[in-house]
């Protein structure tokens, strides 16, 4: 028997034992990187979406390189519930994560066993995973998930920590609309930032408010500051793209830009009107045709499925997100959203939206639109709204949000009433649309196992409120703010006891 030389024999054995692994490694190295850029509290006020008061060249160029979705909507108009949804590709109502900042105390929320976080799926497929703020600060970026999870799903806070040639999944979180703060101190600060970055800040003369907001000086200043937050966010997008380009990976990176919900304003964040739900969604990179515009309705959770698919990772059968970039994708007819408790303020709303109509169901119709909420009530814009309301300076449209009770149903013709002002739920001419959307929402709640159909337990509410009030009891916070939250908690319990 003739013996093979030792070295060739070792090579043969190595190839036999590890050949598949090496092939998979080479395949993994060629897979696209995935980058999510997700600012806080920002609507689609970018030039490519029709905003004319400011210029946003970087997001505009990203849209030119890829696809812009004009009808993208979040399934929850507040950060933690929205983020809990997109990081799992699931409706927050299906996984019990629908109450804002829930599961933070002694009572915890566990994910269903068949639900896996998106970064874990990437990690298991050989990707480096990271989450960071911008600019980089050495810490993990904002997560804000409402359930128990393991931080090890993120390898680090920066994709530069990956192994040579390893593909990466990176989430970049940035303050977005929060950059403007809540009052004049924040507005002045962001004006200085804009002047330093761009040579000028946005003046109130550039502001055009939606018709449901009055031309109060503070509301105008706040909106101008918000527009500067959009400009600064756009510049940050440019910095991320420049880094990818310098590192030679931009052409093999799928870049996704989306916000976590709409502008934080009286009728935006925490509400189911489009100001709170409509977000920008721009995607560019390998396999995406440039200069594409899509007007079909999509949900923000879809970023989970399309990102996995782009990386060649199987989408879990249980995932509710859809790969909206797939050639065989059949466009949705409708998108859904839910608002539940936000901080101490208990609420329960659901909505369904098609391209033509929006239907909102208020499960607590005997409560005012502007329920007490210490977080929102501290904002200068809410103080201004209440000031003009008390002084009788609001017109009929601007007074809508100060109604002491709500209709149990709202229906809007979005083509003719994009600001969702004229409720058609009682108009016989729209009875067919009302019935169709009412039934569609009922089916969705049933089929997706909406856990909000049962009120949050007193035990869970008290658990989360203790975390909230304990934090506000720290010396750095105003005792008056703590007292306001405590009073609001007592009011929520009183109204619940009264069946309100």
**Residue 8 confidence (pLDDT):** 37
Contact 240, 134 (CB under 8 A): yes
pLDDT at position 17: 39
DSSP 87: T
Range of the domain at 314: 31-497
CATH code: domain of residue 457: 3.40.720.10
pLDDT of residue 357: 98
Is 266 in the same domain as 380?
yes
List beta partners, residue 171. Answer: 36, 131
Burial 463-473 (b: 16+ CB within 10 A, else e): bbbeebeeebe
**Same-domain pairing of 6 and 78:** no
Q: Is the pLDDT of residue 117 over 90?
A: yes
N-term to C-term CA, the chain = 91
d(CA 232, CA 193): 8
Q: Which of the four pLDDT bands, split at 50, 70 and 90, describes residue 29?
A: confident
Least confident of 10-24, 166-180, 213-227, 273-287: 10-24
When the pLDDT of each residue in the chain is averaged and rounded to a whole number, the result is 94
Q: Within this chain, do residues 25 and 37 fall inside the same structural domain, yes or no?
A: no
Q: How far is CA 435 from CA 147, 210, 432, 439, in A?
A: 35, 29, 5, 6
Q: Are 49 and 257 in contact (CB under 8 A)?
A: no
Q: Is the four-CA dihedral 44, 47, 49, 52 of positive or negative sign?
A: positive
**Entry pTM:** 0.94
DSSP H/E element including 18:
helix 6-30
Specify the pLDDT at position 138.
Answer: 85
Full 3-state SS string of 278-298 = EEEEEEECCCCCCCEEECCCE
pLDDT, average across residues 351-367: 98
Is residue 323's pLDDT more than 50?
yes
Largest CA distance in the chain: 104
Instruction: Please report the pLDDT score of residue 136 as a whole number.
Output: 85
Does 23 lie in the same domain as 132?
no
CA-based nearest residue to 57, from 47, 66, 67, 49:
47
User: Which of 19-28, 71-80, 181-190, 459-468 bottoms out in mean pLDDT, i.e. has the lowest?
Assistant: 19-28
Query: What is the pLDDT at residue 26?
Result: 39
Looking at residue 371, its pLDDT comes to 97
pLDDT at 15 over 50: no
Distance CA 394, CA 385 (A): 8
Report yes or no: 89 and 305 within 8 Å, Cβ to Cβ: yes
Q: In this structure, are 401 and 456 located in the same domain?
A: yes
Listed as own residue / partner, the contacts of 20-28 with beta carbons closer than 8 Å and 24 or more positions apart are 24/126, 25/126, 28/125, 28/126, 28/127, 28/166, 28/167
Q: Give the pLDDT score at 28.
A: 46
359: enclosing H helix or E strand = strand 357-362
Q: Helix, strand, or coil here: 472? A: helix
Same domain, 15 and 135: no
Q: Please, what is the angle between helix 217-246 and helix 57-65, to 10°?
A: 50
Cis upstream peptide for 135 (omega within 30°): yes
**Taking 70 as the threshold, does the pLDDT of residue 12 lie above it?**
no
How far is the C-alpha of 478 from the C-alpha of 146, rounded, in Å? Answer: 26
Same domain (yes/no): 128, 84:
yes
Task: Please check whether residues 328 and 416 belong to one and the same domain.
Answer: yes
208 and 249 housed in the same domain: yes
Q: What percentage of the chain exceeds 90 in pLDDT?
A: 93
pLDDT band at 137 (very low <50, low <70, confident <90, very high): confident
**Own/partner long-range contacts of 162-168 (Cβ < 8 Å, ≥24 apart):** 162/128, 163/128, 165/29, 166/28, 166/29, 166/126, 166/127, 166/128, 167/28, 167/29, 167/31, 167/32, 167/33, 167/126, 167/127, 167/128, 167/311, 168/33, 168/34, 168/127, 168/128, 168/129, 168/130
Element (H, E) at 57: helix 57-65
The number of beta carbons lying within 10 Å of the beta carbon of residue 426 is 11
Strand bridging mode 253-258 / 33-39:
parallel
411: confidence class by pLDDT, cuts 50, 70, 90: very high
| Dihedral of alpha carbons 244, 245, 247, 249, sign | positive
Residues 312 and 214 both lie in one domain: yes
Residue among 204, 182, 324 nearest 258 (CA): 324
Q: How many domains are contained in the chain? A: 2
Q: What is the DSSP string of 412-424?
A: EETTT-TT--S--
Q: Are residues 5 and 95 in the same domain?
A: no
**Does one domain contain both 3 and 130?**
no
Q: For residue 243, is pLDDT > 50?
A: yes
Q: Which of 8-12, 112-116, 373-377, 385-389 has the lowest mean pLDDT?
A: 8-12
Q: So what's the pLDDT on residue 22? A: 37
Give the up-direction half-sphere exposure of residue 206: CA atoms within 13 A in the CB hemisphere.
17
């Amino acid at each position: 028997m003739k013996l093979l030389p030792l070295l060739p024999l070792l090579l043969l054995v190595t190839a036999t034992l590890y050949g598949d692994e090496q092939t998979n490694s080479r395949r993994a190295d060629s897979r696209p990187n995935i980058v999510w850029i997700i600012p806080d509290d920002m609507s689609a006020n970018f030039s490519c979406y029709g905003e004319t008061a400011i210029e946003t060249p970087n997001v505009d160029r990203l849209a030119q390189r890829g696809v812009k979705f004009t009808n993208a909507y979040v399934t929850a108009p507040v950060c933690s519930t929205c983020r809990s949804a997109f990081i799992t590709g699931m409706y927050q109502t299906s996984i019990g994560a629908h109450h804002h900042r829930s599961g933070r105390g002694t009572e915890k929320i566990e994910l269903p066993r068949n639900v896996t976080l998106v970064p874990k799926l990437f990690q298991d497929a050989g990707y480096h995973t990271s989450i960071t703020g911008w600019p980089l600060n050495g810490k993990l970026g904002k997560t804000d998930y409402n359930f128990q999870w393991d931080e090890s799903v993120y390898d680090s806070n920066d994709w530069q920590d990956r192994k040579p040639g390893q593909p990466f999944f990176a989430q970049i979180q940035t303050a977005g609309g929060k950059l403007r703060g809540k009052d004049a101190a924040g507005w002045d600060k962001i004006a200085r930032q804009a002047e330093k970055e761009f040579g000028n800040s946005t003046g109130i003369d550039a502001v055009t408010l939606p018709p449901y907001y009055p031309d109060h000086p503070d509301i105008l200043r706040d909106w101008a500051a918000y527009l500067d937050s959009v400009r600064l966010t756009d510049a940050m997008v440019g910095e991320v793209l420049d880094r990818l380009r310098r590192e030679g990976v931009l052409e093999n990176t799928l870049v996704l830009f989306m916000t976590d919900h709409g502008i934080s304003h009286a009728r935006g964040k925490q509400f189911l009107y489009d100001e709170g739900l409509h977000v920008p969604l721009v995607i560019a990179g390998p396999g995406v045709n440039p200069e594409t515009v899509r007007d079909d309705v999509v949900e923000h959770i879809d970023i989970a499925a399309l990102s996995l698919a782009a990386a060649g990772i199987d989408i879990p059968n249980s995932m509710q997100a859809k790969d909206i970039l797939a050639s065989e994708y059949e466009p949705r007819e409708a998108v859904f959203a839910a608002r539940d408790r936000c901080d101490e303020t208990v609420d329960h709303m659901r909505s369904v939206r098609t391209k033509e109509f929006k239907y909102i169901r208020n499960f607590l119709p005997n409560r005012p639109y502007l329920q007490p909420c210490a977080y929102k009530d501290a904002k200068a814009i809410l103080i201004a709204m209440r000031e003009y309301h008390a002084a009788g300076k609001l017109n009929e449209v601007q007074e809508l949000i100060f109604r002491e009770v709500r209709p149990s149903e709202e229906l809007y013709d979005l083509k003719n009433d994009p600001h969702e002002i004229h409720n058609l739920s009682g108009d016989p001419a729209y009875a067919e649309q009302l019935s169709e959307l009412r039934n569609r929402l009922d089916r969705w709640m049933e089929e997706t196992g909406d856990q909000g159909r049962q009120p949050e337990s007193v035990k869970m509410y008290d658990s989360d409120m203790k975390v909230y009030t304990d934090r506000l009891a720290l010396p750095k916070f105003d005792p008056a703010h703590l007292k306001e939250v405590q009073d609001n908690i007592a009011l929520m319990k009183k109204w619940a006891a009264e069946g309100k």
